[in-house]
Chain A
């Protein structure tokens, strides 16, 4: 899949606001500044914090880069971390532009993860990888989608606010999956409540000579595929119209119930697929109370990337580097792992500020 020509979809709509030629350059410059300035600002504030805590900021940041990006092991870890994040992002890239605020991806993710972890080890000895992985992916997708059916139906038929219902099903999903692990999928051979382990030899194939599994490719294809769907196809345009102006969608004769249902099912299905990829690729097992909380991490990234596929990939890549590199940098600097989250939060904050400033200047230039 290649980068899409910029004459399509979302971009064309945004570009059309300002006259074409001179604005294109300004837009490029702005985009780069938008991405770089907040990172610098957050790093500066982070450095001040580190200084106040008596740590050396330079060596901390050097460690982040070294362990997240430059070092081969760290880089591979970052790429591995990207896979589930990308898939969740793909789902959100469908839901959010359509005005459906699916905040339940963590519940959908964990439920799918538990079922995949329970089925995987049972199925693995009887099948080959070519059969096993598609089945596990399908199961993950289906379970994730199923976990959003209640909010979907409530939204489509009764107009109930999905922010509330998807949050509720997240809590339900987290508790229910813990119950499943403890009561039904428990591996009797261990003392901790956890599922059976998917043998390392039965996990997703690796790319080249690395530890990075093919889930990364699945994630990249999903994000770019969704980007294409949203910008180039009739279905994607319908979803965007539902998001921009539901009354117009109704007026134009779109089947709102069917569209709402498919938005929910697709978006939560991707969250479930993300779990399947993470279980089959890395974890191999689910412990009770497992919740990596990827969904809530991805939400702001997807927003800041404005649902634009290639930007989503860039943001998630940067985030993965920071969180992987930051983990070991924190350990070395004898700081709690939470410090990475402080940095991420600062970055998001400054990104939001720069977004606001850019929107303001765009308005001022609009003549």
Chain B
């Protein structure tokens, strides 16, 4: 492995951290260089979060050394990390939405009694110049767009010093345009001599943004690609090599996570009709307005859009968790919009929620009971109100084997499963027993490449059997490769429905930001 002559800005040496039952980091060496974007890749559970936790002071390593600027240091708290100039932008915002930007900055730095707002504003100006972005210190954080909020997060992370900036999956909430803007900011920061660590699941991003790639697998550093390796050779060889590193040798067949499928014949009958659906919100603007579309049997209908533009509400209206205020929903020409969740489920309308931890599963309950969560009290699993454990176990076991859920057995609490396996249980549950229309709300969110493939393949396989699917996603690649048609939602409305084919990303991006409508 070729290496620069330069001394690393931050160096991790033989870092080990074990949690009960799992070695999250196993003798990891990692060097971060000033002016470089270091990509950290790996499956869910590969040890990325732990390593970041160690760098940012949230986790204390069991052994190993951290060397910053040639000196061995110990980082015992986030404060230590910040004082060393190591700042982190987490997936979940640490900003207080009701405060102004400058007050948010003061939160972490203000002394007991004195508040020096003027100095904070000066620092804010300095850093926004560094990022080359426009920041109004008096703006309320809650009113910023997600992209702007992220810029503020970056500024917050750089507040005390600009040695290193760590970003944990920073693109998951952004539009394609937002991702471009972030890329520009990172380039600029790297150009100023800041060392950047960028954690991601997405291979394309890794190749676009990264100067150097490090891959973790099962807590170990399994390989690095130096800047020279990154620029030499062709892209697809590089991808193949990285995939091999991430998953081990056997899984290198990749194909851009595309799931090839035939186009659904137009002559299939319409299965679900959504007509002029409206939903009032608490605010002045309705959550949903004049939503109309129809889906044919076997069709996969995509819904694109930036998070929070009514996709979740639409899914819940179809599933029956919310009552619509206007319009109607028809399944095989029969109105279903006033039926209960249970009644719609019996008719074959299923909903894979985007919130598998929050509402999709009950953590302390067993995997088995979670597979029948929506059928409590129903035959055959209950008879005269009494539970029939044997039948539930049998059902759960077949679901586990059919969907390749990795679990010791069906009686463990579902909260002990990884996110991907939990998602397989949720998907399996909704696809069991005669689905007709399945709403998938961001079914691949937070999953690793392999599980994403499995879930998408499942959706496609199901559609071949005539099940209609609505696939809500923020991942354009995923939508384009999986769907027949894609609708784009913006501010509770559908701004366009287009045939899915390669090359429509820009068009989708325009529709997502409402640029196409006035």
Does B associate with A?
yes
Count A/B pairs, Cβ under 8 Å: 83
CA distance A233 to B385 in the complex (A): 5
Q: Kindly state whether residue B236 has any CB partner on chain A within 8 Å.
A: no
Within 8 A of A (CB), among B345-365: 345, 351, 353, 355, 358-365
A253:B387 contact, CB within 8 angstroms: no
From A16, A237, A247, contact of B413 by CB (8 A) = A16
Report chain B residues within 8 Å CB of A247. Answer: 355, 358-359
CA distance A6 to B294 in the complex (A): 50
A253:B345 contact, CB within 8 angstroms: yes
CA distance A247 to B362 in the complex (A): 9
Listed stretches A7-15, A53-61, A129-137, A182-190; interface member = A7-15
From A234, A363, A367, contact of B377 by CB (8 A) = A234
A364:B376 contact, CB within 8 angstroms: no
A74 to chain B, nearest CB (A): 41
B360:A248 contact, CB within 8 angstroms: yes
Q: Kindly state whether residue B20 has any CB partner on chain A within 8 Å.
A: yes
CA distance A235 to B321 in the complex (A): 20
A250:B321 contact, CB within 8 angstroms: yes
Q: Kindly state whether residue B180 has any CB partner on chain A within 8 Å.
A: no
> Which of B351, B363, B365 is packed against the most chain A CB atoms within 10 Å?
B365
B20 to chain A, nearest CB (A): 5
Q: A16-B411, A237-B369, A253-B374 given as contacts; is B387 within 8 A of A248 (CB)?
A: no
B383 to chain A, nearest CB (A): 10
CA distance A247 to B359 in the complex (A): 5
User: Which residue on A lies nearest to B367, using beta carbons?
Assistant: A16
Q: Per-residue CB proximity of A223-250 to B under 8 Å, as 1/0? A: 0000000001111011001001101101
A291 to chain B, nearest CB (A): 36
A366:B389 contact, CB within 8 angstroms: no
Q: Kindly state whether residue A17 has any CB partner on chain B within 8 Å.
A: yes
Q: A244-B365, A253-B342 given as contacts; is B373 within 8 A of A367 (CB)?
A: no
B366:A13 contact, CB within 8 angstroms: yes
B387:A366 contact, CB within 8 angstroms: no
B389:A8 contact, CB within 8 angstroms: yes
Report chain A residues within 8 Å CB of B369. Answer: 237
Q: Kindly state whether residue B506 has any CB partner on chain A within 8 Å.
A: no
Q: A7-B389, A16-B366, A234-B385 given as contacts; is B374 within 8 A of A252 (CB)?
A: yes
B358:A252 contact, CB within 8 angstroms: no
Report chain A residues within 8 Å CB of B358. Answer: 245, 247-248
User: Which residue on A lies nearest to B411, using beta carbons?
Assistant: A16
Interface size class of B (residues with CB under 8 A): 20 to 34
Report chain A residues within 8 Å CB of B360. Answer: 248, 251
B377:A245 contact, CB within 8 angstroms: no
A248:B373 contact, CB within 8 angstroms: yes
B20:A241 contact, CB within 8 angstroms: no
Q: Per-residue CB proximity of B382-394 to A under 8 Å, as 1/0? A: 1001110100000
CA distance A360 to B358 in the complex (A): 25
**A contact face: mostly helix, strand, loop, or mixed:** helix
B413:A13 contact, CB within 8 angstroms: yes
User: Which residue on A lies nearest to B351, using beta carbons?
Assistant: A251
A245:B363 contact, CB within 8 angstroms: yes
From B340, B364, B385, B386, contact of A253 by CB (8 A) = B340
From A8, A241, A255, contact of B362 by CB (8 A) = A241
From A233, A238, A255, contact of B386 by CB (8 A) = A233
Report chain A residues within 8 Å CB of B377. Answer: 234-235, 238
Q: A8-B389, A364-B20 given as contacts; is B365 within 8 A of A13 (CB)?
A: yes
Q: Kindly state whether residue B21 has any CB partner on chain A within 8 Å.
A: yes
Report chain B residues within 8 Å CB of A13. Answer: 364-366, 413
Q: Kindly state whether residue B238 has any CB partner on chain A within 8 Å.
A: no
Report chain B residues within 8 Å CB of A252. Answer: 341, 373-374, 376
Within 8 A of A (CB), among B1-33: 20-21
Q: Per-residue CB proximity of A247-272 to B under 8 Å, as 1/0? A: 11011111100000000000000000
B412:A234 contact, CB within 8 angstroms: no
Q: Kindly state whether residue B443 has any CB partner on chain A within 8 Å.
A: no
CA distance A250 to B376 in the complex (A): 13
A237 to chain B, nearest CB (A): 6
Report chain A residues within 8 Å CB of B386. Answer: 232-234
CA distance A364 to B411 in the complex (A): 20
CA distance A254 to B340 in the complex (A): 9
Report chain A residues within 8 Å CB of B305. Answer: none
B321 to chain A, nearest CB (A): 6
Q: Kindly state whether residue B320 has any CB partner on chain A within 8 Å.
A: yes
B385 to chain A, nearest CB (A): 5
CA distance A363 to B21 in the complex (A): 11
From B359, B376, B385, contact of A251 by CB (8 A) = B359
Report chain A residues within 8 Å CB of B363. Answer: 244-245
CA distance A238 to B378 in the complex (A): 12
User: Which residue on B lies nearest to A20, using beta carbons?
Assistant: B411
Q: A17-B413, A234-B382, A366-B21 given as contacts; is B389 within 8 A of A248 (CB)?
A: no
CA distance A7 to B320 in the complex (A): 35
From B345, B376, B411, contact of A234 by CB (8 A) = B376
A251:B366 contact, CB within 8 angstroms: no
CA distance A366 to B411 in the complex (A): 15
CA distance A251 to B341 in the complex (A): 8
Within 8 A of A (CB), among B402-433: 411-413, 416
CA distance A255 to B320 in the complex (A): 12
B387:A234 contact, CB within 8 angstroms: yes
Q: Per-residue CB proximity of B331-350 to A under 8 Å, as 1/0? A: 00000000011100100000
A346 to chain B, nearest CB (A): 31
User: Which residue on B lies nearest to A245, using beta carbons?
Assistant: B362
B365 to chain A, nearest CB (A): 6
Report chain A residues within 8 Å CB of B364. Answer: 13, 244
Report chain B residues within 8 Å CB of A8. Answer: 387, 389
CA distance A13 to B365 in the complex (A): 6
Report chain B residues within 8 Å CB of A364. Answer: 20
Report chain A residues within 8 Å CB of B411. Answer: 12, 16
A251 to chain B, nearest CB (A): 4
Report chain A residues within 8 Å CB of B382. Answer: 234
A18 to chain B, nearest CB (A): 10
CA distance A202 to B207 in the complex (A): 88
Within 8 A of B (CB), among A328-367: 363-364, 366-367
CA distance A233 to B360 in the complex (A): 22
A251:B353 contact, CB within 8 angstroms: yes
Within 8 A of B (CB), among A1-31: 7-8, 12-13, 16-17
CA distance A136 to B47 in the complex (A): 64
A78 to chain B, nearest CB (A): 35
B365:A241 contact, CB within 8 angstroms: yes
Q: A233-B385, A234-B387 given as contacts; is B413 within 8 A of A248 (CB)?
A: no
Question: What are 29 A-B contacts defined by CB distance under 8 Å?
Answer: A8-B389, A12-B366, A13-B413, A16-B412, A17-B412, A233-B385, A234-B377, A234-B386, A237-B369, A237-B376, A238-B377, A241-B365, A241-B373, A244-B365, A245-B361, A248-B358, A248-B373, A250-B321, A250-B359, A251-B341, A251-B353, A252-B373, A253-B320, A253-B342, A253-B374, A363-B20, A364-B20, A366-B20, A366-B21
- Given contact pairs A17-B412, A253-B321, a sample of 8 additional A-B residue pairs in the complex whose CB atoms are under 8 Å apart: A12-B366, A12-B411, A13-B365, A233-B385, A234-B387, A238-B376, A248-B360, A251-B351
The interface of chain B, by Cβ under 8 A from chain A, is: 20-21, 320-321, 340-342, 345, 351, 353, 355, 358-366, 369, 373-374, 376-377, 382, 385-387, 389, 411-413, 416
Which 5 residue pairs spanning A and B have beta carbons closest together? A253-B341, A234-B377, A367-B21, A247-B359, A251-B359
The interface of chain A, by Cβ under 8 A from chain B, is: 7-8, 12-13, 16-17, 232-235, 237-238, 241, 244-245, 247-248, 250-255, 363-364, 366-367
